[in-house]
Structure formats: structure tokens, C-alpha cells
Amino acid sequence: MRDTGIAYQTEVDLSFEQAVARCREELAREGFGVLTEIDIRAKLAEKLGVEVPPNVILGACHPPSAHRALQAVPEVAVLLPCNVTVAIEAGRTVVRAMNPEGAMKLLANPALDEVAATVGAALRRVLERVAG
């Protein structure tokens, strides 16, 4: 797994559909719910008439952590939920998850450090298990 500062990233030996299903399973295992799902491929085809490889964004929320963060710093809402993406890039299935520690640095508030570390560790575990 690679940490780009803003995201954790891994390539997996799964099909796109398998990777999406595994992400959902592993997110649930860590206590996340998927609030939104955006099919980027379908939206770009609909809005722009372009064809791109499969790409989906899962908007994942860990309710206890979201609540703690919102209580401490209400404007953190603009950074929620934590996005997890699955895409086909150069013929490979790539899974990424937002690095909450990197994102929370934008707000420069120490009250978010522990929440970001907890959520980040959970998202890394999700990617590790998806990669298997």
C-alpha cells in the first residue's frame, strides 16, 4: 500500500466488481456505512458523452468518528464522508481511500488529530484486506 499524503492506494488482483463488493464488505467490518455511490463512468457518459474505464466513488461514513469530529470542528463537514474509490487504470484494479490525517491538516485543529488517526487506521485495514 502506498500513502500519497491525501490517499492510501493499492492495486488488487480482483475484477472491478469484486473489488467494489470487497470494499463494501470490509468497510462494514470496520463500522463504516456507505452513504453515497457515484458511478463516474456512467456520469461522464451521461453528461459529456465520453467513455472512460470503470470508476466508482463510495462515500463511507464512520458515524462515531464523524460525530466526534463534527462536535469538535463543525466545518469538518465539508470533508465528510471519507471517499473510497475503485477504478480500472492501465488495465489494473486500483483502490484508494482518503487519508483523513492528510485532509484534516487543512483545518489545522488538534482536536481532529485523534479522530483522523483512528479513521485512517481503519481505512488502511480495509485496503489491506481488500488487497488480501
pLDDT in tens, 22-53: 999 999 999 999 999 999 999 999 999 999 99
Mean pLDDT check: name the lowest of 10-24, 30-44, 94-108, 113-127.
94-108
Rounded alpha-carbon distances, angstroms, from residue 37 to 45, 73, 100, 111, 116: 16, 26, 19, 29, 22
| Section 58-72 average pLDDT | 96
Confidence of residue 81 (pLDDT cuts 50, 70, 90): very high
CATH class of 2-131: alpha beta
Say what the pLDDT of residue 49 is: 98
Contacts of 118 (CB under 8 A, 6+ apart): 65
Share of the chain above pLDDT 70, in %: 100
CA distance 58 to 28: 12
Residue 9 pLDDT > 90, yes or no? yes
Confidence of residue 105 (pLDDT cuts 50, 70, 90): confident
Tell me the range of 50-64, 67-81, 96-110 where mean pLDDT is highest. Answer: 50-64
CA distance 31 to 96: 18
Residue 83 CA neighbour count, 13 Å, CB half: 15
